[in-house]
Amino acid sequence: MDYLQLVTQEEANTIAIDFDGVIHSHHLGYHDGTVYGYPIEGAIDNIKKLAKKYTIILYTAKAKPDRPLINGKTGIELVWEWLEKYNLDSYIKEITAEKPRAICYIDDKAIGFKSWNQTMNDLKEFIGESI
């Protein structure tokens, strides 16, 4: 059976993208909680390109409800402000802390699953130690 027959039309048309490390540089880590970084090279052009065909949903830990307010704003508000600054807000449907239903996920910390043997080797390489 074709994979696309198993998902909803909305899911088949959605690409989920991690915010920090994929779109936003966040080169200082959490730092002071603000969204201070610059766009990662290629992010703006490729989000615009993807948005022509797909719905784009961003996911980020900044959207978690237990995250403290920063200058009176939620993490979601801060991410929207950053997106507006770089004229990306009109290409994004939603920002969430949860992994949304999507045809694929773009994440800088992901390990693509092919088999458990490959996954364990990739994990070992990723974290730099034996498991």
* CATH number of the domain enclosing 35: 3.40.50
Q: What is the pLDDT of residues 96-115, one digit of tens each?
A: 999 999 999 999 999 899 99
Please indicate, yes or no, if residue 1 is contained in any of the structural domains: no
Mean pLDDT (the chain) is 91
Please indicate, yes or no, if residue 110 is contained in any of the structural domains: yes
Please indicate, yes or no, if residue 69 is contained in any of the structural domains: yes
Name residue 56's beta-bridge partners.
15
CA trace torsion 20, 24, 30, 33 (10° rounding): -120
Provide the number of structural domains found in the chain. 1
Check residue 33 and give its pLDDT: 86
pTM: 0.86
Query: Which region, left, alpha or beta, applies to residue 118 given φ > 0 means left and ψ of -120 to 50 means alpha?
Result: alpha
Quote the domain boundaries for residue 94: 6-127
Please indicate, yes or no, if residue 48 is contained in any of the structural domains: yes
